[in-house]
Amino acid sequence: MIAERTVTDWWSTAVSEIQPGEIRLRGYPVEELIGRVTFAEQIWLMLRGELPTPGQGRLLEAALVAAVDHGPQAPSIAAARMAATCGVGLNSAVATGAGLLGDVHGGAGQQCMEVLQRVVDGEEAPAIVAEYRRRRAYIPGFGHRFHPRDPRRDPLLALVQEAVHAGEVPGRALEAGLALEAALAEGRERPVPMNIDGATAIIYAELGFPSELGRGLFVLSRSVGILAHAWEETENGARIKGPLPRPLLAGYHGVPKRHPDRMPDPHVPFEDASSSKT
């Protein structure tokens, strides 16, 4: 005999409490949240344990809205589109896309939050920029290989600034981000403006999210684009969609044709179906 607590404690949570006829999320009966909070506010509640203020909620909505999609060129989107043609449900297509948002493809916002924190903690932005330059690395959240200036930067930063002026967020992460941007521009003809990862990193940092959740929130946001693209492919009705259209063959640059010589031929010849009398 073992104590029931041993096993139910193993799965104990502070997120939700479920009893027959009752579902409480972070203490609130779900029926009192429905119709009263937006989806973004619910996301905040579930991750943070408390409801956001209206100003906090507005910033979160904006960040989630901004990052939903960047076209089918992104591997997370392309893989989800392919998945949708392989006979798996939309849930698997979303899983395929979300799974690809790893450190390289989905981690820049999280990494940028960590750099912002260093500045907030007192390091000088130019010193950090110099450090990255020394190891020939990009500062996550700045610059874009495609957009000279990411169109999502300005409206997001404007909303943060507005929230700072209204006293809704402290503004230190915004200050840190702008300091890094200025340090990056120093002595260059073309500036290296903040990209979507940098701008949302500022918002998530201003709102007090830990950096790991920066990734988590990006995953929720991008899952919307993943779903939209997977659904488009589902509606198209394509089957087994590969990266290249049918007439094209992927190239080959390996060893030329050769034969295994180490083993004797074990094969009994197999007569053609037409003549087979098995």
Instruction: Supply the minimum distance, in Å, between the C-beta of residue 201 and a second copy.
Output: 15
Stretch that binds a second copy, among 115-123, 124-132, 169-177 (CB under 8 A): 169-177
207 lines the binding site for a second copy (CB under 8 A): no
39 lines the binding site for a second copy (CB under 8 A): yes
| CB-count exposure of residue 259 (10 Å: 0-12, 13-18, 19+) | exposed
DSSP-derived secondary structure for 185-240? HTT-SS---B-HHHHHHHHHHHTT--HHHHHHHHHHHHHHHHHHHHHHHHHHT--S
Instruction: Supply the minimum distance, in Å, between the C-beta of residue 118 and a second copy.
Output: 18
Stretch that binds a second copy, among 118-126, 128-136, 177-185 (CB under 8 A): 177-185
Q: Which is nearer to a second copy, 15 or 130 (CB)?
A: 15
Instruction: Supply the minimum distance, in Å, between the C-beta of residue 134 and a second copy.
Output: 21
Instruction: Supply the minimum distance, in Å, between the C-beta of residue 70 and a second copy.
Output: 6
219: nearest Cα among 76, 112, 45, 90: 76
CB atoms within 10 A of CB 150: 21
Stretch that binds a second copy, among 119-127, 128-136, 155-163 (CB under 8 A): 155-163
Q: Which residue type does 145 have?
A: R
Stretch that binds a second copy, among 27-35, 117-125, 128-136 (CB under 8 A): 27-35
Q: Checking DSSP bridges between strand 16-19 and strand 22-25, what pairing results, if any?
A: antiparallel
40 lines the binding site for a second copy (CB under 8 A): yes
Instruction: Supply the minimum distance, in Å, between the C-beta of residue 149 and a second copy.
Output: 6
Do 44 and 60 form a contact (C-beta atoms < 8 A)? yes
Footprint of a second copy on 108-127 (CB under 8 A) = none
CB atoms within 10 A of CB 97: 28
Pick the binder of a second copy from 55, 114, 120, 147 (CB under 8 A).
147
Q: Which residue type does 3 have?
A: A
Do 126 and 183 form a contact (C-beta atoms < 8 A)? yes
Local structure of residue 25 (DSSP, 8 states): E
Footprint of a second copy on 61-100 (CB under 8 A) = 61-62, 64-66, 68-76, 78-79, 82-83, 85-92, 94-96, 98-100
